[in-house]
Amino acid sequence: MWHDITKPLQPGMTVYPGDPAFELRTERHDIYKVSSIAMSVHCGTHIDAPSHFLLDGDTDDYPVSRFCGEAMVLDWREGWPGDIQGCARVLLKGGSGLSEDEAREAAEAGVALIGTDRLSIAPFDHEAATHIALLSRGVCILENADLAGVKPGKYRLLCLPMRLKGAEGAPVRAFLIDEA
């Protein structure tokens, strides 16, 4: 079974406080329509590149293999799971935001991608510290995934960021596929 964990992009959607709202404009011509969008690259389900918080960080040089492969969905409402050794991709469902220490622990455990269903991986009052702890250690961040209908467990993640040259993040289309 496939689970589309991508939040739909639509006018009126919730965005990170201070970010521009999503806008969709459609023009009708004689025999066709053309739509345009205006949005932050951090709108909807997206990844953060190192340059989002690191001045000399990469923008779009992550290998696609980081975003595809075995993933573990964990119920974060029960607190930080602690032992995540051997999990290359971890998606956290619920919770209040990853602390700087938890971010370091995830990186040290070998996590290559960490994601959340929240607008940010970090608590709103510790944004920079958590992001820097992950991004400076090469950990990819996936934010604002729709994990509402997904149970904790093992899945295959397929997450494809847009190729935006020079951007500090990118919208994605993401799916979890049941391993069974």
CA dist list (Å): 37 to 14, 33, 108: 16, 14, 39
Q: Strand 2-4 to strand 23-28: parallel, antiparallel, or no bridges (unpaired)?
A: unpaired
User: What tokens appear for 140 in the block?
Assistant: 């990819």
Q: 3-class DSSP state for residue 46? A: strand
Strand-pair partners of 177: 2, 156
Q: 3-class DSSP state for residue 141? A: strand
User: Is 119 within 8 Å of 131 (Cβ atoms)?
Assistant: no
Strand-pair partners of 46: 143, 171
Alpha carbon distance 142, 170 (integer Å):
10
Q: Which residues are catalytic?
A: 52
